[in-house]
Every structure is written in C-alpha cells, then in structure tokens.
Amino acid sequence: MANFIGVFLRSLEYGSFYALSALSIILVYKTSYTTNFAQATLGMFNTFLVATLVMRQGWSLYAAIPIGIVSAVILGVLIDIVIIRRATKAGPVGKQIITLGLISVFLGLTPIIFGVDNLSLPRFVSSGTLTIMGTPFSYNALFNILFGIFIMLTMFATIQKTKIGLAIRTTASNETTARIMGVPTKTVTMAAWAVAIVLSMISGLMTAPYSSVSLTFMNDVQITAFLATVVGGFATFHGPVIAAYGISVLLNIFQVYMPSGTIWGKPLLYAVLLLIMYFKPYGIFGKQRLKKV
C-alpha cells in the first residue's frame, strides 16, 4: 500500500511536468492552429539559460527564474512576430513544419550560446522530506504537485472568468469573427506564444533536477504531453491537462508493476495510447467537427 501511495504521488508530480507542457501545446494550438513541436526545445533553451546563470554565474535559482521568464516571453513575442504572423499562406502541415524548423534552430543555438556540456539544476526546495502514510516524500515533490495544480487552476480561471480569457476563447473558436468583433487577435496569439514558452520552461525547471539539463532532456516530457493533448482532445483546455495526469499515473503503474517495466513500460504505454488515438481520434473530451463540402 505504501508503495502504491508512493507511485501515486510520483505520478502526480510527473503529471505536473506533462500537464504544464500539454497546456503549452494546447495554448499555441488554440490560437495559431498548429501543434508546436518545438515546445520542448524552447523549454529546454530557457532552462539552459537559467541553469547557466545558476551553475556558471553563481546566481540563486530564484534570481535566475525571472530572467528565464523574461527570455521566454521575448522568445514567444519574437517567434510570433517574425515567423508565425508571416505564415498566412502555409497550411496546418506547413505550420507544423515551421515548428519543426524551430527545433533545429534552437538545438543549433543552445550549444553555441550555452556550450556543449550538460548542466544540472537544483530543486525548487533543496531539502526536507515528509512522510505520508508511511511513504517518504520530498518537499520539492510536494511543491511541484501543488505549484503545478496552482498554475493549472490560475490558467483555467483566467481563461474562463476574465476578459483576457474571453479574448483567447473567441480567438480560438473563430479568429476572423473575433477580429471583426474587435478582439485584438494578433496580441492574443502573441501572448499565447509567450505564455506557452514560459509554461514549457517551468516544466523544464521542474524536470531538470531529476535528470540533467541536456539538449534532449525534455523529449520524453514532450512526447507524453503530445499524447495527453491527443487523448484529451484539442477541443478543450482542460482535456489535455486531465489526460496528462491520467497518463502519468498509467506510466508509473506500467513502469513499477510490469515485469521489466522500467524498460518496456514507456514504449508499451505509447503503443496503447496510439490505439486509443485510433479509436478516439478526437480525444476523450473532444468531438469530431463535421467537414462541410
């Protein structure tokens, strides 16, 4: 039992990483109508910036994070203005290819700017453990869970209850109509990119202490987040987030309770989720949109 509680709590913690990334993906999808494959790479880039300030310049983590946020926002604004806005002629797949190009750009830039060595990053809460029903649990993990949930709830409240949220929702449902009704859709899209990259960075900052800051350290998070977005459906904001936590639980169960689960748990879960994609191609929370001809 204690073991299971441990597994469950860890699922919630990793669920935060995935959910933040999934939210980042869905924000961009809703406003730019493309799946941002560069989500993890952009998160990685900003995590590298924070890690460089901490490891190389001796900054404290909490002093470095605001710099990371500023950098993420600037990147989001730049990507939107310089690239996405000009991609009016590109179709959905064309835009996907652009985000794939962004992966290449930032995989190239990162070693040029931050050097070729992997870095490490301290935890948000450096030490301390509490015991929950006989299961030891670090304060950092607890912080990750709560902070993740806090960000989700803040985002949902913003999207559902505020004027900014209304602008995001109208842009998402029909950009042209939104623009005609006076919604500053360009600003909304730009803001969505900025917030999305900040979310990716937070996901990166949370993940990094458990591995190292390398070019590929966020790949697993990205793939799980994408699967969460598909399984949860691109129709809603909450679908992918709920799916992210769900997949995290499944992943941990597969890894812990399956024979040689540490090796095969992940690929097997991926295969299962592909099958779910096949049978529920618009997600568990999504609806098929009827195509008019």
Partner 1 sequence: MKKIIKNPYSHFILLGLVLLTLPYLAEAGAIRNSTVTVIGTTIIYTIAALGLNVLLGFSGLISLGTAGFMGLAAYISAYVTETMALPFEVAVMAAIGIPTLLGILVGILSLKFEGIYLGIATLVVAEILREIFINVTPFTGGATGALAGRPVLAGTFQLNRIQTYYLIVVVMVLIFILIHNLTKGHLGRALNAMRGSEAAAQAMGVNIFKYRLIAFGIATVLAAVSGVLYVHYVGLSYPTTWNLMLSLDFLAIIVVGGFRSIFGTFIGSFIIFAMSELFLKPIPALANITPLVKGILIIIFILYYPNGLANIKHQVSHWLVRRKGKRDAFGQTKAEKKNLTRAEVRENDTV
Partner 2 sequence: MTPSKTKELALKIEDVSIAFGGLKAVDNLSFAIERHEIFGLIGPNGAGKTTIFNCITQFYKADSGSIHFINAKGKETDLMDLSVHEIIDEGIVRTFQNVELIRELSIMDNVLIGAHHVMKQPLLGQLFNRKAIRKDEAESREKAEKILAFLDIEHLKDLIAGSQPYGVQKKVEIARTLMSDPELIILDEPAAGLNDTETKELAMRIKQIRETYQTTILLVEHDMRLVMDICDHICAISFGKRIAVGTPKEIQSNPEVQKAYLGEEGELE
Do residues 178 and 90 make contact, with C-beta atoms less than 8 angstroms apart? no
Per CB under 8 A, which region of 66-74, 137-145, 157-165, 272-280 contacts partner 1?
272-280
Q: Toward partner 1, which CB reaches closer, 12 or 23?
A: 23
Nearer to partner 2, 235 or 253 (CB): 235
Please, is 271 exposed, middle or buried when counting C-beta atoms within 10 Å of its C-beta (0-12, 13-18, 19+)? exposed
Q: Does 290 bind partner 2 (CB under 8 A)?
A: yes
- The yes or no reply on residue 267 touching partner 1 (CB under 8 A) is yes
Per the CB < 8 A criterion, the answer to whether 133 and 2 are in contact is: yes
CB of 188 to partner 1, least distance (A): 20
- Asked if 93 is part of the footprint of partner 2 (rule: CB under 8 A), the reply reads no
Q: How many residues bind partner 1 (CB under 8 A)?
A: 49
Among 2, 70, 74, 104, binds partner 1 (CB under 8 A): 104
- Comparison of 81 and 149: residue with beta carbon closer to partner 1: 81
Q: Closest approach of Cβ 293 to partner 2, in Å?
A: 6
- Nearer to partner 2 (CB atom), residue 1 or residue 293: 293
Q: How far apart are CA 141 and CA 12, in angstroms?
A: 9
108/136 with CB nearer partner 1: 108
Residues that bind partner 1 (CB under 8 A): 34-35, 37, 83, 86-87, 89-94, 96-98, 100-109, 111-112, 116, 219, 223, 226-227, 229-230, 234, 263-264, 266-267, 270-271, 273-274, 277-279, 281, 291, 293
Residues that bind partner 2 (CB under 8 A): 290, 292-293
